[in-house]
A = this chain, B = another copy of it.
């Protein structure tokens, strides 16, 4: 799933490590989410969005689920 996390991190000048600590996960978890290896859980998605002062929908791209 595509996300705005890399852009938001760059704009805030945060490393993966710093964001990871801020939201309570490991750096590898952030890497995996950014590279699309897997999708964040709901609580983690919320913590990340909140860390940037945004809603989940503003950070994560759900367009690949649009139909079905």
A28: Cβ under 8 A from any B Cβ: no
Q: Is the beta-carbon distance between B60 and A42 smaller than 8 angstroms?
A: yes
A31 CA / B47 CA spacing, docked (Å): 25
Residues from chain B with Cβ under 8 Å of A50 in the complex: 62
Q: Is the beta-carbon distance between A46 and B62 smaller than 8 angstroms?
A: yes
Could you show 25 A-B contacts with beta carbons less than 8 Å apart? A1-B42, A1-B43, A24-B68, A39-B41, A39-B42, A39-B43, A40-B42, A41-B41, A41-B42, A42-B42, A42-B45, A42-B56, A42-B60, A43-B62, A43-B65, A46-B57, A46-B62, A46-B65, A47-B65, A50-B62, A55-B55, A55-B56, A55-B57, A56-B56, A56-B57
